Structure 1
């Protein structure tokens, strides 16, 4: 039994195919296929079986893969323990994050990490909430930075979540909007106006119903896939928006004299942001350092 065999089966469990695993590990597909056959013969058990969607672990295979991942994790721990000098900590991290975190907190985190740990390389991908979750589930990202995901129960069982920040939400509108004349803006005032969003309308409805109540139906949605596009609707007075402090403090658009932001009286809507990672994925020294600094920068932002 070899370590590379254990690595192959854990990766196939994530990617669902030998071809994808070969591409990710820079190994030929025949090499992986032969390694798995040899391991199955040695163990006397079939690890994978074919399905319409690719390779799926057998019942026995799932148990084997869990143990294989634990062995790989311990090997990585041994390597990390040998690197007592922080300058020797190395690794490549891929982070998939929603745009709110990509504007200020992640750049500051990356700057600190690069200064302290020059051998850690970073790849940051800005994505929508659903894509962030999929990147983590598919093994395409070491971390996902997301507001609390509307995931299935099965997905939630696969994730380890670390709370980063709670960001209050405010209503945003052009300075000549009738909302500007109100001393206190209630949710009943808000729902009279079209609201522009930059993510899936259905997800927005679910969230707003949770916060504002099922009886208060939001009047209209204008949906844009680009967070910058919605600003043009606000600038023209065609719609209002509800944004987090995380966005308001890091985006100069909302700090313009032409845009007013106010709290919604009587409720305290907020979005909670979390770091997501797979439970069975090794938590490397590089990952630990990044997450620690990410939490530091998130706490600084709240101050």
Structure 2
């Protein structure tokens, strides 16, 4: 039994195919196939069986894969312990994050991590919330930065989650808007104006339904995932926008004298941001240090 055989079966369990595992590990498909056959013969058990969607672990295979992952994790822990000097910590880390977190906190986090750990390489991908989860589930990201409505967070058995920060949703508009004359702004005031929103994903629909109520609809004028597009409509006074304080504190546009940002009263409009990772995936030293610095930067943002 070899370590590479254990690595192959754990990766196939994540990717669902030998071809995908081959691309990820830069090992030929025949080499992986032969290694798995050899391991199955040695153990006297079938680890995978073919299905319409690819390779699926057998019941026995699932147990073998869990133990194999534990062995690989312990080997990685041993390597990390040997590199206890921070300057020696190395590795490549891929982060998938929602856009609001990419504007201020993640850039500062990356700068600090690179300064402290020069041998760590980082790759940050900005995505929608549902894509962040897919990236982590599919093994395309080591860590995901995602938001959940604080009152509807559901623990996923596959994810380990770390709370980072709570952020309030605010309404943003040009200073000559009718909303500017109001001392207090309520939900009914917001619905009277055209709103520019991000695309309606399941996450945003769930959030708005929870906060505003299923029967209370927003007057959507345009949907855009591009933050710059949203700004053009706000600056021309043709629409207002809903943004978290995480966004407007990090973006000079929302701090200009022509733009007003106010809370919406009468509703609990808080988004909670979390770092997510797979529970069965080894938590590398690089990942641990990145998350540690991420929490430091999130706490500084709240100050």
Give TM-score scaled by structure 1 length. Answer: 0.95
2:94 maps to which residue? 94
How many residue pairs end up in the alignment?
302
* Counterparts of 2:254 and 2:294, CA distance in 1: 24
1:78 maps to which residue? 78
Partner secondary structure for residue 157 of structure 2: helix
Partner secondary structure for residue 273 of structure 2: strand
Unaligned runs of 5+ in 1: none
2:301 maps to which residue? 301
* Counterparts of 1:121 and 1:197, CA distance in 2: 34
* Counterparts of 2:100 and 2:65, CA distance in 1: 36
Q: CA deviation at 1:37?
A: 0.5
Return closer, same or farther for 1:297/1:198 CA change in 2, 3 Å cut-off.
same
Is the Cα–Cα contact under 8 Å of residues 129 and 149 in structure 1 kept in the other structure? no
Say whether 1:183 aligns with 2:176. no
Is the Cα–Cα contact under 8 Å of residues 201 and 221 in structure 1 kept in the other structure? no
Partner secondary structure for residue 7 of structure 1: helix
Partner secondary structure for residue 165 of structure 1: strand
Unaligned runs of 5+ in 2: none
1:142 maps to which residue? 142
Is the Cα–Cα contact under 8 Å of residues 91 and 119 in structure 1 kept in the other structure? yes
User: What whole-Å deviation, never above 9, does each CA across 1:120-162 have from its counterpart, x for those lacking one?
Assistant: 1111111111111111000000000010289997x81111110
Say whether 1:228 aligns with 2:218. no
* Counterparts of 2:19 and 2:141, CA distance in 1: 19
Is the Cα–Cα contact under 8 Å of residues 12 and 21 in structure 1 kept in the other structure? yes
* Counterparts of 1:83 and 1:24, CA distance in 2: 25
Return closer, same or farther for 1:216/1:284 CA change in 2, 3 Å cut-off.
same
* Counterparts of 2:2 and 2:75, CA distance in 1: 13
CA RMSD for the aligned pairs? 1.8
1:148-227 matches, within 5 Å, as: 148=148, 156-200=156-200, 202-227=202-227
Say whether 1:48 aligns with 2:16. no
User: What whole-Å deviation, never above 9, does each CA across 1:86-109 have from its counterpart, x for those lacking one?
Assistant: 111111100011111111111111
* Counterparts of 1:231 and 1:209, CA distance in 2: 24
* Counterparts of 2:17 and 2:149, CA distance in 1: 27
Deviates more, 1:135-144 or 1:253-262: 253-262
Return closer, same or farther for 1:229/1:6 CA change in 2, 3 Å cut-off.
same
User: What whole-Å deviation, never above 9, does each CA across 1:174-210 have from its counterpart, x for those lacking one?
Assistant: 1121111111101111112222112325532321121
User: What whole-Å deviation, never above 9, does each CA across 1:225-246 have from its counterpart, x for those lacking one?
Assistant: 3122111221222221111011
